[in-house]
Structures are given as structure tokens and as C-alpha cells.
Copies of this chain bind each other. A is one copy, B any other.
């Protein structure tokens, strides 16, 4: 009810905020018998970790995960898996400048309206910091999916005006540049664009694509928990996301039925405009989703705002911020997609007698 859980059978509940002692996730519903250790989780956390390049925040967090329960002799027990990540870099500083002001684009104002108070040291639960523990939980989901041959893969397809060229897609390139971009040429342009942007003290939006390969048909529900709807919700639950597309997405508006419906042959679907989902249920083809992330709200330029006492004022958000939150959102998007699929994989077991 507090919106800190996701999933029905494979269910993840998180706690912890940007400037608190630790982040915690409890992963419920993971079946018994799956091999799991911290070593399965840490690589995904390292991909998301801040400070990996000059294009992400310089906040220093080791993001080391500890499995507190649910694993015995290297295998899951079927009981809840608790994951703990201590916050180590809670830099003590002077908050007097910002503690009473609402940062535009942030949740400061809405938090205050909802709870009547807020932790002025940062974004609290709305902060992207919380997504670290989602990535850890997502790594557990990936292990479950792997048992069925399903894997997920995400990348940045656009930063501001710079788009990756689908024709130049190179899977190996994704981890070769600081932008998780599968097109090496585009990655170079992104570097140039970002260097200029950082000098301005400004920020930029991004597009991220995430896919599931090795899909099984039959996952999803036909009405209120459609697979594509659960994916849309999962991605929109990532901070800064403002749009989600499934398959061809927005461009379907201008398509005709004779062009859009994917023809079926015994060898499989002849195209994938649908993005792997028909009537809310997976068709076995690659699941493809895309999300749009707004530019980081914390920038060095001054903007008009108000404070909690009702005064109009201006604010500059100093500190360590990602100039493009979309970059580090890639492993988060993978985690969210993995969580949705793991849940529907288990739900599917109850479909037939």
C-alpha cells in the first residue's frame, strides 16, 4: 500500500532512502533450488555504481551487497532473500541553503504535500539512490529467468539529439563506452555532446531500450496485469521516466492494420511490431520496450522556486549529480524488466490444470 513492493508471486519490497543508513530489499517468492551468491549480484551493482566515469555523479558508494537470508549452502531455500547495501558516502554538509526550498523538477514539493515533512538532505525514497537495491533484486530475478533460458539486455539508444543507429548495433560495444551505447560512433558523439553540456552546468534527457530474449509464450494476463502494462509500470517507476513504448510504440498511431499485424508462420512471427506481446500475453518473440528519461533536475543554473514558509526565491542545486540520469538507468531498466518477467513466469504455472 505504501508502494514499496512490486510483483505478486516474485515480490520485491524495498526500504531505505538517499541519505539513510542503508538500503534493504526483501525478495519473496523465489523458488527453492537456484544457485545464488553475492557474486551473482555484484556485477550488476558495479554497472550502476556512481563515479565510473566523468559523465556520472562523483558520489562514492561501494554498493557492496550482503545476502542476509534465504540462501543455504549456495542455493535458494524458497524463503525470503534479504539484501543489504550500506550507504557509505553520506557526506556531511551544510543544508541550510536548501533545507527549506523546493527544488524544481524534484519531489521536494510533492513529498512535503504528501507527508507533511521531508528529509531535506536529498530525494529520500524518490532519489535514484534507491534503485541500487532494485538492481540487486533484479539480479536474483535474472538467475530465475536463466533457468528458463530468458535473458534481458538494455542500452542507451539516444542522448539529447544524438541517436544510436540500429544498423550499427554491436552488443559487445555496450560495455565498451561510458554511455552503454551499442553504436561506437554514436558513443563518440555522445561524449562530445556531454562534455559541452557539463561546461554549461546543464543536463539532458535520454532514451533507453531494454529487451528480453529467449522468451516463452503465454506469460501475462489479458485484462489488468497485461505483460506490457506491467512493463510500462515497472519502467515508469524508474525516477525521471516520462514515456514508455512497447514494440513500435508511438509510431503505431500512423500505421495501418495491414502493415502492423505481425504475420505468423510455423518458423515464427515474420516481424515484431508488437514487441513480443499480444493481448497482454507474450508471444515468444523478443520483448522490446523503450523508455524516455527527462533531464536531471539538479543543475547548476539558478531557477525560481518557493520555500516551505511560502516565500518566493531562487535555487541552485550544487553537489554531485548525473548530468544525464539515463545512462545509469540502463541496469535499472534491466532489473525492472527482469522482475516483471520473473513474476509472470511463476504466475504462469497456475494457468492450467
Q: How far is the CA of A301 from the CA of B295 in the complex (A)?
A: 44
Question: What are the residues of chain B within 8 A of A283 when measuring CB–CB?
Answer: 109-110, 113
Supposing A233-B232, A258-B301, A275-B242 touch, asked if A351 and B31 sit within 8 A by C-beta, the answer is: yes
| Beta-carbon contact of B104 and A264 below 8 Å | yes
Chain B residue nearest to A239 (CB atoms) is B279
Count residues of chain A with CB under 8 A from any CB of chain B: 154
Q: Is A13 an interface residue when CB atoms closer than 8 A count as contact? A: yes
Q: Is A43 an interface residue when CB atoms closer than 8 A count as contact? A: no
> When each residue 257-282 of chain A gets 1 if its CB lies under 8 Å from chain B and 0 otherwise, what string results?
11111111110001001110111111
Chain B residue nearest to A203 (CB atoms) is B257
| Beta-carbon contact of B124 and A77 below 8 Å | yes
| Beta-carbon contact of A252 and B292 below 8 Å | yes
Question: What are the residues of chain B within 8 A of A326 when measuring CB–CB?
Answer: 253
Within 8 A of B (CB), among A199-215: 202-207
| Beta-carbon contact of B5 and A1 below 8 Å | no
- 18 of the cross-chain contacts (CB-CB < 8 Å) are A6-B224, A13-B26, A14-B224, A22-B82, A24-B69, A29-B350, A78-B114, A79-B125, A105-B278, A107-B222, A107-B281, A110-B217, A114-B217, A226-B236, A229-B233, A236-B246, A243-B246, A266-B310
Q: Is A284 an interface residue when CB atoms closer than 8 A count as contact? A: yes
Question: What are the residues of chain B within 8 A of A130 when measuring CB–CB?
Answer: 223
Q: Is A247 an interface residue when CB atoms closer than 8 A count as contact? A: yes
| Beta-carbon contact of B111 and A258 below 8 Å | no
Of A53-61, A174-182, A341-349, the one contacting chain B is: A341-349
A77 to chain B minimum Cβ distance, whole angstroms, is 6
| Beta-carbon contact of A31 and B353 below 8 Å | yes
| Beta-carbon contact of A237 and B257 below 8 Å | no
Q: Is A4 an interface residue when CB atoms closer than 8 A count as contact? A: yes
| Beta-carbon contact of A77 and B250 below 8 Å | no
Q: How far is the CA of A298 from the CA of B256 in the complex (A)?
A: 11
Chain B residue nearest to A28 (CB atoms) is B2
| Beta-carbon contact of B125 and A266 below 8 Å | no
Q: Is A352 an interface residue when CB atoms closer than 8 A count as contact? A: yes
Q: Is A312 an interface residue when CB atoms closer than 8 A count as contact? A: yes
| Beta-carbon contact of B24 and A110 below 8 Å | no
| Beta-carbon contact of A262 and B299 below 8 Å | no
Q: Is A50 an interface residue when CB atoms closer than 8 A count as contact? A: no
Q: How far is the CA of A303 from the CA of B167 in the complex (A)?
A: 28
| Beta-carbon contact of B236 and A242 below 8 Å | no
Supposing A68-B16, A125-B79, A242-B252 touch, asked if A4 and B22 sit within 8 A by C-beta, the answer is: no
Supposing A161-B254, A252-B242 touch, asked if A279 and B117 sit within 8 A by C-beta, the answer is: no
Choose among B24, B229, B281, B349 the residue that contacts A236 (Cβ–Cβ < 8 A).
B229
| Beta-carbon contact of B253 and A207 below 8 Å | yes
Q: How far is the CA of A305 from the CA of B41 in the complex (A)?
A: 40
Question: What are the residues of chain B within 8 A of A237 when measuring CB–CB?
Answer: 223-226, 229, 280
Question: What are the residues of chain B within 8 A of A346 when measuring CB–CB?
Answer: 350
Q: Is A11 an interface residue when CB atoms closer than 8 A count as contact? A: yes
| Beta-carbon contact of B281 and A111 below 8 Å | yes
| Beta-carbon contact of A270 and B304 below 8 Å | yes
